[in-house]
Each structure stands twice: as structure tokens, then as C-alpha cells.
Amino acid sequence: MSIVNRSVVAVAYDGLCMFEFGVATELFGLARPELDVEWYDFEVVGVDGGPIRTIGGVALHAKVGLDRIEDAGTIVLPGWRDPSEAPPSELIDALLVAHARGARIFSICSGVFVIAATGLLDGCPATTHWRYVDQLQRDYPEIDVRPGILYVDNGSVLTSAGSAAGIDLGLHLIRRDYSPEIANQVARRLVVPAHRAGGQAQFIETPVAYDEDVSISRTLDWALERLNEPLSVQAMARHAQMSERTFVRRFADAVSMTPHRWLTTNRVRLARDLLETTPFSVELVAERSGLGSAANLRHHFQRELQTTPTRYRQTFAV
């Protein structure tokens, strides 16, 4: 276990989104005696004073105020009520003091706008929900905004994309603080993958304004059923009834990656599923997932997941 300060505080404010707040509470505030480790000490910090009015009409009362941030090891910002609204100066000052002392700051979704207002992300990579990417880049041009990924870990400042990506980042932090095995157990209790591959491009709404986009969608479904076959870009373009050049362009517009990259990502995902749920040999997993050989499978696992197929199975097999 590498964590030194187990104190985690979640910042609550008027207009709080209960889902993001619930993610923070579930990850860090739920007692986990089955893990047989000293779990986080979790508290809720109130920003506005008095009852906190949440989205949905629920009122919360935080027992402690911003002064508690001073002693926290990790500060969670579960979204922000309006990316165009400047956070209170008292909150910004408290975050800067805590960060200078060594605290980690963790944002979910639009919570990145609070960190951005501190200046702590200047010159650093960060992410947020795809709806807010353009605004974050426009309002804070010093930040290296990464729109296509689920989370960014800068060591002491961590940002996640949409609400559910807060779970991904939280599991990542638990893995960092405790171990992959502990993170895996928490993920199982949540009934979510311990490590989700890919980025948020798959969730971005792409307006279907042309028949070609419908063809891309159908071709994606068609290809997903044939990942173990030697698919080529030419074959996919032929299925979509487009020229190869038009297909590549439309494909990039729809899913924000090349067809080859998309195929590899989904084949790795299929290989992970097979390793988790079947007794197949590494060689057979490589064949069934369309990655061909065990050597190719190991290459892509090392590049995508920084591990080997065997080690992945030992950690995540059901």
C-alpha cells in the first residue's frame, strides 16, 4: 500500500449532481471490511453553508466546511454546477493551499473547471466530458485538453471525463494506493470492469445527417461480428458501399480513430473478455480475437494495457 494520507473529502455545493457525488461516496466512503485493509477516511465538505440543494430536490447537510480540506490527502470535485460560473475564491484558495501541502485533487466531469480556475492544470494534460471539451479549451488555452480519453493522472492532479469515467479514475487511484487486486475486488462489488479499455469517443453523439453515417454504423456492427476474420479497410469500405478514401474520412468523423485502430482496440477488448471468462490458451485467444498469434496478442497487450495476457488473466479472471 502506497497511500500515506487516507483522508478523502468530497466537495458539495448548491446545484450538486447526485450521480457524481454518489460515485465519490461509493468509491471512497463505503466501508469495505472484506478487503482487510485500512480504507479511506471519507467526509463531505460544504462550500455554500447551510443545506445544500442538489439537482433533483434533495437537500444535504455537510458537517464540516472548507477548513477540513487543509488536512485531506485527496480532494474530490464531483462536477461543477456551471462551467461558465467562476468557483468561489474561498474554494480556490483552499485547493491551492492543500495542493501545495501535498494533497491530490480529483475531478469528475465538469469538476475540471474548478481545478482549471486554480491554474494547477496550466501546461498539463486534462480531460472532461466531451460536451465541455471545446469550452475548457477556449476558456483555459494553457491546458492540454485530451478529449478522447477517460481520465488523466498527473500525479497530484487527476481529471476524468463523463460521470461514469469518475469510476474508472477512482479505481485507477485505488489501484495506485493499494494494489490491482484490491481495485479488482472493488470493481467486482460495483459490477464494473476493473479497467475499461478505449476512450470516450465511443460515447460521443455524432449527428446522423447523411446516409453514409448510417452505413458506417451498420459496418461497425458487421465488423464486430467478424473480429476473428482477416478484415481489411477495403472490405469494410465495400460493406459500407463507399470508396476506401470516403470510408476512412467518414469513419474518422464517426468514431475519432482510424479503421485499423478501431479494429485493434476491439480485438484487444475481445481478447480481454476471453481471458477473463474462458480457459482458452493464449494462442487460442489470439486466434478467436483476430489478433492472429500469441506474439501479436502480447505485443498489443503490452502497448494498450502495459501488461501481458497471462498476468492480466491472473488478475482479472472470473
* pLDDT one digit per residue (tens) for the chain, 318 residues: 567 799 999 999 999 999 999 999 999 999 999 999 999 999 999 998 778 899 888 898 898 899 999 899 999 999 999 999 999 999 999 999 999 999 999 999 999 999 999 999 999 999 999 899 999 999 999 999 988 788 888 889 999 998 889 999 999 899 889 988 888 889 888 888 666 655 554 444 433 333 345 778 888 889 988 999 999 999 999 999 999 999 999 888 877 789 998 899 889 988 988 998 889 999 999 999 999 999 999 999 888 777 889 988 887 776
124 with 19, same domain: the answer is yes
- Quick one: which H or E segment has residue 46? strand 41-46
State the DSSP string of 111-141: GHHHHHHHTTTTTSEE---GGGHHHHHHH-T
Number of domains in the chain: 3
In Å, what is the CA distance from 13 to each residue of 63, 132, 136, 158? 13, 20, 21, 20
Cα–Cα distance, 196 to 206 (Å, whole number) = 22
C-alpha radius of gyration, the chain, whole number? 22
Please indicate, yes or no, whether residues 232 and 107 belong to a single structural domain of this protein: no
Q: Distance between CA 285 and CA 9 in Å, rounded? A: 43
Question: What is residue 119's three-state secondary structure?
Answer: coil
Asked if 63 and 114 sit in the same domain, the reply is yes
Are both 147 and 169 inside the same structural domain?
yes
**Per-residue confidence (pLDDT) for residue 204, from 0 to 100:** 41
38 and 119 in one domain?
A: yes
Of 313, 315, 305, the closest CA to residue 281 belongs to: 313
Residues 280, 239 within the same domain: no
Flag whether 144 is in a domain: yes
Model-wide pTM > 0.75 = no
- The candidate with the shortest Cα–Cα distance to 111, out of 215, 47, 37, 16, is 16
Looking at the structure, do residues 68 and 106 belong to the same domain, yes or no?
A: yes
200 lies in some domain:
no
Contact by Cβ (8 Å): 108, 77: yes
Nine cell digits for residue 145: 485538453
Query: Cell 464494473 belongs to which residue?
Result: 192
User: What is the DSSP secondary structure assignment for residue 60, as one 8-state letter?
Assistant: E
Which of 256, 272, 289 is at the close of a domain? 256
**Residue 84 identity (one-letter amino acid):** S
Q: Are 115 and 77 in contact (CB under 8 A)?
A: yes
Is the same domain home to 176 and 211? no
List the grid coordinates of 168: 474508472
- Asked if the structure places residue 1 within a domain, the reply is no
* CATH number of residue 282's parent domain: 1.10.10.60
Which residues neighbour 210 within 8 Å (Cβ) at sequence distance 6 or greater? Answer: none
Question: Residue 113 maps to which CATH number?
Answer: 3.40.50.880
> Can you tell me the distance from the alpha carbon of 85 to that of 288, in angstroms, rounded to the nearest whole number?
51
Mode of pairing for the β-strands spanning 104-108 and 41-46: unpaired
CA atoms within 13 A on the CB side of 184: 11
Query: Both 47 and 143 in a single domain?
Result: yes
> Quick one: which of 140, 201, 194 has its CA closest to 169?
194
Any domain includes 283? yes
Give the angle subtended at the CA of 138 by the CAs of 132 and 144, to the nearest 5°.
80
Rounded Cα gap, residues 225 and 256, in angstroms = 21
What's the pLDDT at 188? 85
Residue at grid coordinates 505485443: 299
Same domain for 51 and 180, yes or no, is yes
Could you report how far apart the first and last alpha carbons of the chain are, in Å? 24
Residue 198 inside a domain? The answer is no
Is residue 237 a part of any domain in this protein? yes
Question: Do residues 30 and 134 both lie within one domain?
Answer: yes
61 with 126, same domain: the answer is yes
> Is residue 197 in some structural domain?
no
Residue 269's domain spans which residues? 261-316
Per the domain annotation, does 86 fall within a domain? Answer: yes
| CA–centroid distance for 66 within its chain | 27
- Tell me how crowded residue 302 is: count the other CB atoms within 10 A of its CB: 12
pLDDT at residue 200, rounded to an integer: 57
pLDDT of residue 201: 47
